[in-house]
């Protein structure tokens, strides 16, 4: 099977879960088509225009199969499209991570301690200021409560999770889905690029077994959740300990890693 046929099969596999998500969220084919056209135009214009040439509607139309009229329309309306910022998600993650690893907010056993909303000493407002900048502490608390990352009672504020994980239909959950798919996609794109040397390949591995005893599936899920979280927390600690200060000269690197579970048992056979 040639490369084009393999890519055709890979795209159909990729689209199956995406189409399920879009149908559940009420995204029609027309809306998806418009998103695809816009993305084709942006990538072709931004990344496939030769460095010694100016971008042109005709060049993009030839490369993408769009008409010049469509390219012109998409290009002219591009500036009007804005993407919702993920900044508040990043801030919430930093607050939760700081709560678990910063000695100022942990007890003598190294566990995150209960905090309160008083602005006196090392309490929740101080935690938010240290790891979230100018985000109001009350707004941060409500965000963390909304995703069940903290519990508030008469004894104070107890952190329940180190991770910011919204519910499935939540807008933030859909935004995180986009980030996760994009990050994995960029890794695969780089590794498939003929211009990437062996030293530049990014780590990309997975394990699977088609003969596993079904009774062992819940055990494996627990095993992955426990060991996977341990690994992710250790990596998060390492990255946090190697952060640049906010006033450091030069730009900072934005890197990460992800772990996921999959189950193909009940999936319909693909058209191979």
How many domains would you assign to the chain? 2
Domain boundary among 82, 112, 133: 82
| Residues 94 and 78 occupy one common structural domain | no
- So what's the pLDDT on residue 172? 79
pLDDT along the chain (272 residues), means of 10: 89 92 84 94 93 88 95 84 53 91 93 92 94 90 91 94 75 85 94 86 94 96 96 93 84 93 80 48
- So what's the pLDDT on residue 100? 94
Q: How many residues does the chain have?
A: 272
- So what's the pLDDT on residue 84? 41
What's the CATH code of the domain at 151? 1.10.10
DSSP, residue by residue, the chain: --HHHHHHHHHHHHHHHHHHHHHHTT--HHHHHHHHHHHHHHHHHHHSS-TTS---HHHHHHHH---HHHHHHHHHHGGG------HHHHHHHHHHHHHHH-GGGB-TTSPBPPB-S-SSSSSHHHHHHHHHTT--HHHHHHHHHHTTSEEEETTEEEE--SS----TTSHHHHHHHHHHHHHHHHHHHHHH-TT--GGGPPP------SS--GGGHHHHHHHHHHHHHHHHHHHHHHHHHTPPPTT-SSPPP-----------TTSPPP--
* 172 part of a folded domain: no
Q: Any idea of the CA torsion for 126, 164, 150, 103, to the nearest 10 degrees?
A: -40
- So what's the pLDDT on residue 249? 77
Read off the tokens for 181: 């798919």
Could you tell me whether strands 156-159 and 150-153 are parallel, antiparallel, or unpaired per DSSP bridges? antiparallel
Contact between residue 204 and residue 191 where contact means Cβ atoms under 8 Å apart:
yes
- So what's the pLDDT on residue 272? 46
The Cα–Cα gap between 9 and 11 comes to 5
* 143 part of a folded domain: yes
Structural domain boundaries enclosing 136 = 87-159
| Residues 68 and 3 occupy one common structural domain | yes
For 86-137, the pLDDT digits (tens) are: 555 678 888 999 999 999 999 999 999 999 999 888 999 999 999 988 889 9
* 44 part of a folded domain: yes
- So what's the pLDDT on residue 71? 95
What are the φ and ψ backbone dihedral angles of 115, each rounded to 5 degrees? -120, 170
* 248 part of a folded domain: no
Domain boundary among 15, 48, 82: 82
* 221 part of a folded domain: no
- So what's the pLDDT on residue 3? 87
- So what's the pLDDT on residue 269? 58
């Amino acid at each position: 099977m040639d490369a084009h046929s393999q890519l055709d099969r890979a795209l159909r596999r990729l689209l199956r879960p995406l189409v399920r998500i879009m149908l559940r969220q009420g995204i029609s084919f027309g809306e998806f088509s418009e998103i695809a056209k816009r993305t084709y135009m942006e990538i072709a214009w931004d990344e496939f225009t030769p460095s010694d040439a100016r971008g042109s509607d005709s060049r993009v139309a030839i490369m993408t199969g769009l008409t010049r009229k469509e390219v012109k329309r998409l290009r002219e309306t591009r500036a009007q499209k804005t993407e919702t910022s993920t900044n508040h998600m990043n801030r919430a993650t930093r607050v939760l991570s700081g709560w678990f690893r910063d000695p100022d907010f942990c007890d003598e056993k190294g566990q995150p301690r209960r905090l309160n909303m008083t602005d006196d000493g090392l309490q929740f407002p101080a935690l938010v200021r240290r790891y979230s900048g100018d985000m109001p502490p009350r707004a941060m608390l409500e965000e963390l409560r909304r995703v069940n990352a903290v519990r508030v009672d008469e004894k104070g504020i107890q952190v329940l999770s180190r991770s910011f994980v919204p519910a499935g239909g939540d807008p933030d959950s859909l935004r995180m889905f986009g980030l996760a798919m994009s990050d994995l996609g960029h890794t695969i794109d780089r590794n498939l690029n003929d211009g990437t040397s062996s030293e530049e390949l990014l780590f990309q591995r997975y394990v699977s077994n088609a003969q596993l005893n079904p009774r062992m599936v819940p055990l494996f899920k627990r095993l992955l959740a426990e060991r996977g979280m341990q690994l992710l927390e250790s990596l998060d600690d390492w990255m946090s300990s190697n952060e640049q200060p906010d006033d450091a000269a030069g730009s900072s690197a934005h890197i990460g890693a992800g772990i996921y579970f999959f189950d193909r048992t009940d999936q319909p056979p693909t058209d191979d």
